[in-house]
Structure 1
Amino acid sequence: MAREALEQRGAPKAVGGSGALDRWFRLREAGTDVRTEVIAGIVTFMTMAYIIFVNPDILGAAGVPRQAAAVATALGAGVMTILMGLASNYPLALASGMGLNAVLAFGVVLGAGYTWQQAMGIVFWEGLLVTLLVLTGARESVMNAIPANLKRAIGVGIGLFIAFIGLKNAGIITHTATIVPGPGGQPVISNPTYVALGNLREPAALLALFGLALTLLLVVRRVRGALLLGILGTTLVAFFTGQARLPETWLSLPTAESLATIGRLDFSVVLNLSAWSFIFAFLMTDFFDTMGTVVAVGGEAGYLRPDGTVPRLRNVLLVDSLAAVTGGFLGCSSITTYIESASGVGEGGRTGLTSVVTGLLFLLAIFFAPVVGIVPSAATAPALIIVGFLMMSVVREIEFGNPEDGIPAFLTLLGMPLTFNISHGIGLGFVSYVLLKLFRGRARDVHPLLWVVSALFTVELFGLWQFIFR
């Protein structure tokens, strides 16, 4: 199935690598070659590079020095992505997690009144807990306990989520809700149309539509490197239309000031009981976001076993767990496995060489950040939309005929884009799955770990952590 899909997309049938790279990453065995892996790594980097600029803006609101946050973001993403490629030999890339960084800035610091150094301590301790779960085998056991139908739904849901992000970044869809002052000055939502068609006459939307048409043309013509060529072609048009400009300076050398966040975390936060509500909230999100990403990207890359399990899973989970620890130490929020990894897989990436290329580009970005910033989000949005389409193919394997399995799968794949959160979509699927089995008198069919995880998800979805750790 995976090989047929690969060939239909125009990837090479006879492939291989050269020398040490071929032996280390087993390129020939994976059905790929060095050129394909390098292109895939570049595509993954280009679809993720926005985090170098977005993460410092978000963390800056919490008082984290922006220049230092930018360097820490690129450094953490580069080191951990290379480590993932070498340790797991999978095309998975890591960076500071979107959503997690917002919770840290606006929930932990601005909302609860912790310092940013204490917030990074929370991230560090959460990473240690997840690492402990990996070393004891608990995290891997939970992943292996998930029914195959739900695993397929997680992959499809993430595909929908990725496509939704692409459409949003392109300006093709938008929301019309506005925030206005309410009674007592509290903000309230006015005119809540949750999703609507964007203004397609806007320059950014027109640019994205051009990029989508160009990329689709390259894909259907089976041009190798279609996603990368689409991004580059759209960026070139952005220059001619004034939506992108050459940087004033091409090189940015790190200074002592740009390393100011490294090692500045405050460990004393663990003594504060209320901080543990945030530690467990981060843990749940980190735990299941990564699980969903690994399952989804694994299904797209073709390395899932028939029973839905992932070879070398412990290596993947260990690196991801250590990435959270690293994010807290560097001061760039929790580092996690990225759903944008699927863009490189969509370009043909199948091994850890893709990740090594992506990681090296992140490290180079420390010195060439002004150059990285010239690619507009409208240029990378088409790649996300197309990758979302590619990840939808597994939907035909989901058994919707049986409501006990079909309804949880449906809530999972629908919940991710509509809650804008991978973990919440998984939670809706898990909780509904165990409830339906219970209602049918088939509670014994549910793996014991799923009962535990579903109970934790119930606490998470209803926001009860703050009441437990008061």
Structure 2
Amino acid sequence: MTRISTEPGTTEERPATDGALTPDAATPPKNALDAYFKISARGSTFGNELRGGLTTFMAMAYIMLLNPILLGGADKNGLHLDHAQLTTATALAAAVTTILLGVVGNVPLAAAAGLSVSGAISAIVVPHTTWPQAMGLCVIYGLLIVLLVVSGLREKIMNGIPLPIKHAITIGIGLFIALIGLAKAGFVTQGKGPLLQLGPTGELAGWPVLIFAVTLLTIFVLLTRNTRGAILIGLGAGTALAFIVNAAVGLDDKVWGLQVPKWPGSPVDAPNFGLFGDVDVFGAFGGQGMGAISASVAVFTLVLAGFFDAMATIIGVGTEAGLADKQGRMPGLSKALFVDGAGGAIGGLSGASGQTVFVESATGVGEGSRTGLASVVTGGLFALMLFFTPLASIVPVQVASAALVVIGSMMMSQARHIDWSDREVAIPAFLTCVLMPFTYSITAGVAAGVLTYCVIKAGRGKWREPGPLMWVLSGVFLIYFALTPVKAWLGVH
């Protein structure tokens, strides 16, 4: 049997068969589109997919503004990438990868430039390479992940993770995206004394935070009333309120951050594809780049970020969408995993850095999307933004962040599937849940959960129980946690 969410907070049981994520042979397709995407078979509708795709895009649109900023630094020769070209590259790579996820993988997942990947490229790669060499490393790490998918190893790893850890991953991602939402809205900030605090000074202040709170409460109220399109309606209402307040009060643009709720003037801007194909695949390994050892360490770091962040996100969002069986497995995901891996190479070729599945995909799932049609809608909107890039900035981050907090609250429901009285699973599950938001890293949470699970089982004399793959993962994660001393031992800076 397979759980399929029909309304927020409700599920129904449907028989599962081979070959599809959530098939339902008793529900005949209404047309060719329905048959291809299995819309009716997954308990969804065309309207749900359309709303879900639009909601996911609204929650992700900030990447078109943030990624060019992350990649806006100088390379080792002091050269900066053109901002307009970066914006075009970001939209192009997101559009291609997300549409492929929908058409090939048939999953309601959207991909764009991974912040962890872009951050790593900007911080540890570009100061020692040229930009074409850095994008070449993205191509390499993407192709390596594709090889892991083709070999079947990536799906085996996903299916080999114990079910309680999978549920904990979903919970951890829920907490993680809720924290992201609260932080982006300015509701929670980094404090001088405590690690986190309420607002910038220990208290809430300012119109943007108020609009975030109003948007959040509006969505919650609509959800409790079982209103269809609750998240999308809330985002629309919050954006309209932000426009009104910004016009009436005359707020400084700086208080909103990246996205200001006002008409951007001319909404049309011709795309600039100047970065496409400007790639030096192996240049970073030579004397004109980082060198072989440093470049290899950088690729290993990128593979870890791209592999496990996306794996955890797929598990979390897929489980929330009801696309997993009772063992937490998602049959038929190999195609989606292949596209996700290829996203690294697609992003490198486009000049936008590696693409990865976004946790914001959960906002579309919250609106009822269950198939790849929602991804086609999201990807289509990214493609449209190639010509209307100024419009990406009209939804304030504070409004979009409310959707992340809402989805985080929904994903907490997975806690009921974990036996918290069984310490052998409760302790690894706890560390998986809390370390994702506490370290601001999905990979760190997965790593802690897997390592602790194996160590506890070994300590109880059950060292065979985790299985070979889990022990191999533990070895990889030991290297992950010890990467800094390993780099020092190798003489890598």
Aligned to 1:174, what secondary structure does the other structure show?
A: strand
**Using the alignment, how far apart are the partners of 2:60 and 2:228 within structure 1?**
21
Match of 1:55 in 2: 67
Q: Hey, what does 1:35 align to over in structure 2?
A: 47
Q: CA deviation at 1:295?
A: 0.6
Displacement of 1:270 in angstroms is 3.6
- Which residue among 292, 304, 318 is the counterpart of 1:298? 318
Say which of 57, 66, 80 aligns to 1:45.
Answer: 57
Cα distance per residue 1:280-339 (max 9 Å; x no partner): 011011111111011101110101011111111211110011111111111101100111
Q: Decide which of 357, 375, 390 is 2:395's aligned counterpart.
A: 375
Which residue of 152, 161, 164 maps to 2:179? Answer: 164
Match runs of 1:59-458 below 5 Å: 59-62=71-74, 63-110=80-127, 113-177=128-192, 191=193, 193-198=194-199, 199-242=203-246, 244-254=261-271, 258-267=272-281, 268-271=283-286, 272-273=291-292, 274-458=294-478
**Alpha-carbon offset, residue 122 of structure 1:** 1.1
Q: What amino acid is aligned across from residue 30 of structure 1 in structure 2?
A: R
Residue 15 of structure 1 deviates from its aligned partner by: 9.4
User: For the residues of structure 1 that align with 2:30 and 2:196, how far apart are their CA atoms?
Assistant: 49
Q: Distance in 1 between matches of 2:333 and 2:63?
A: 26
Q: Distance in 2 between matches of 1:18 and 1:409?
A: 42
Contact between 2:6 and 2:44, CA under 8 Å: does it hold in 1?
A: no
Which residue number corresponds to residue 184 of structure 1?
A: none
Q: Please state how far the C-alpha of 1:19 moved relative to its aligned partner.
A: 2.0
Structure 2 length normalisation: TM-score?
0.88
Q: Rate the CA distance shift 1:278–1:349 in 2: closer, same or farther, 3 A.
A: same
- Amino acid in the other structure paired with 2:334: R
1:462 aligns with 2:482: yes
- 1:48/1:459 Cα in 2 relative to 1: closer, same or farther (>3 Å)? same
The aligned length equals 451
Take 1:10 and 1:203, find their aligned partners in 2: how far apart are those partners? 35
**Identity rate of aligned residues, in percent?**
39
CA RMSD of aligned residues (A): 2.0
Separation (CA, whole Å) in 1 of partners of 2:119 and 2:5:
37
Offset, 1:130 = 0.9
Q: Is the 8 A contact 1:157 1:414 kept in 2?
A: yes
Contact 2:6 2:43 in 1 (8 A): no
Equivalent residue letter for 2:167: R
Question: Following the alignment from structure 1 to structure 2, what is the Cα–Cα distance between the partners of residues 405 and 126?
Answer: 33
Q: Could you say if the C-alpha distance between residues 226 and 208 of structure 1 is closer, same or farther in structure 2, counting changes exceeding 3 Å? A: same
AA of the residue aligned to 2:102: G
SS in 1 for 2:263: coil
What are structure 1's unaligned runs of at least 5 residues?
178-190
Q: TM-score, normalised by structure 1?
A: 0.92
Q: Give the 3 Å change call, closer, same or farther, for CA 468–288 of structure 1 in structure 2.
A: farther
Secondary structure of the equivalent of 1:444?
coil
CA contact (8 A) 2:55 2:231 kept: yes
- Counterpart of 1:28 in 2: which secondary structure? coil
Whether contact under 8 Å (2:113, 2:355) holds in the other structure is yes
Shift of 1:213: 1.5
Alpha-carbon distance in structure 1 between the residues aligned to 2:353 and 2:5: 37
Alignment match, 2:22: none
Name the SS of the counterpart of 1:32 in structure 2.
coil
| Residues in 1 aligned to 2:490 and 2:112: alpha-carbon distance in whole angstroms | 30
Contact 1:405 1:433 (8 Å CA) reproduced: yes
CA contact (8 A) 2:106 2:336 kept: no
- Contact 2:7 2:368 survives alignment (8 Å): no
SS for the counterpart of 1:91 is coil
CA distance in 2, matches of 1:340, 1:303: 17
Distance 1:374 1:16 in 2: 41
Q: Tell me, what secondary structure is at the counterpart of 2:483?
A: coil
Amino acid at match of 1:135: V
Structure 2 spans left out of the alignment, 5+ residues: 14-25, 75-79, 247-259
